[in-house]
Structure 1
């Protein structure tokens, strides 16, 4: 591509294709899932439609550094021009704002019926990834593929990473695709439901930020907020509370008289995956109970398998269902109360009651 020349008061400045690529990568990083949802400064600059003025991005110290010799107007014009090459950032209808192409992770309606897959060939485009998946041995359980989104390395090279988001028609097919990947039907390194991936990613980022804050270590350079910290005093950023992932608890009814917690756990692990079961609530002689999974993906996989082909536990094949959101909230609150009661009942006797 041709070099772009912009005039300043001093002398003409030229940006090489490499410098332009760096600017585009930085622009995309500001709006990516790893940065934008956690950048309170940038989100605070958003218009009603979620877009950010190009002038705000153009004034970022990092952008200024990457565009030497260009004034603010020239940087803004260049960024708007480069955005046409982006597959993740759009120029808004105003012509002077940027916005994300995709919804924020916490607001993405496709997350419940999509799968995150790592370890695909880095040079495989959307058509190639789709072909690889539809040619898999168990493809009949999850096709058709609705869409494929390839992820880029936005911290270094902007190259594709081999990580993809794959959208299916519904949650059942997404669970089937995740299971096929985990069982080797698709040549990849790992896979999980996208909603689970988004949840774990957010938790990890929040934990990292909390550790930096508590340790007094400087936050790693990221969005304009981090870069502008030394130029203006801003209130300390509060660590957002991460919601507990929903869709992790299955209820069962109708196990046999010989059923045990170990047998129930073994059955669920068989279908949900190794280390997928966090806790089994079942008491000897009872026909029902609950299984809490470590993540929603495990619960979905187990429920899909057991609904399609019921299996005996203790001499009878129980029915299974996923707790609704309100039911799960009630269940978790009840569990917390029981735990607190147990701790209180142990009574370590630290108090000196005079009774």
Structure 2
């Protein structure tokens, strides 16, 4: 998943008698098992290999967003039985669920990734003051739907030491034609603000060029000896404890990307605030949103980050210092 908060399926077909909370439960669970999330969710992928694809309700109710809706297995399974999409199958015991074998998951490969990018739109112009929630955005984009996924994008606010909404989202439509319809609309507003809309592929290319330009300027400064010598000083930084994870062990010259590492985090990707890693590097750093979350990730990944048949050893760290990161940026990182 691309950087950001939990994304949610937005195109389930449900009956008119379904209550609002039940509709949200259906939408969230169908997102977990949907074509977009399941191939990227390493945790769920491992879980569905057991027990013929069945996942216990005990496991499901540990998922943060679903748990915020309900932790009652009876309520959740009753709602899922009302979905017209028939994506989710409920066991007769009401103690576990699975993706219906009648709807096999597409093979997740580079072709699928490329196809998904072509139907993804970047939208910017939403309030950054915390007044807009994911539920607000899900409701807003219904007018332009159906959509497959809405992904809020976040950054780490150093002053408040909290996650902040960037004011931009990624909207994945079910078909490229639907995305084109949205892009070809005249002015699109959220309240009184006109939204900036770009194809995700164009946005990514723009960011690549910006990074290349910054690197070129940095190299130019180095050649002119304009860079001051930088001494790494260990500092006492008031950041939440347990939010950093260091990983090392990838082979030199690898083609692993930050997106690949996000996918390896599975369901924990929504807690990832920042990744310091560039293609070809052997090590990098992860920063999470919540205190002590690095231990949770360590336990779920069994101390290893597995990407493209390669493994990197993950370790936690309590010290934080200012310095030059492995990718050449000045930042805060795990000592």
TM-score range, shorter chain: 0.3 to 0.5
Q: Choose between structure 1 and 2: higher strand proportion.
A: 2
Q: What's the TM-score, normalizing by structure 2?
A: 0.35
TM-score for both structures, normalised by structure 1: 0.33
Q: Could you say which structure has the larger radius of gyration?
A: 1
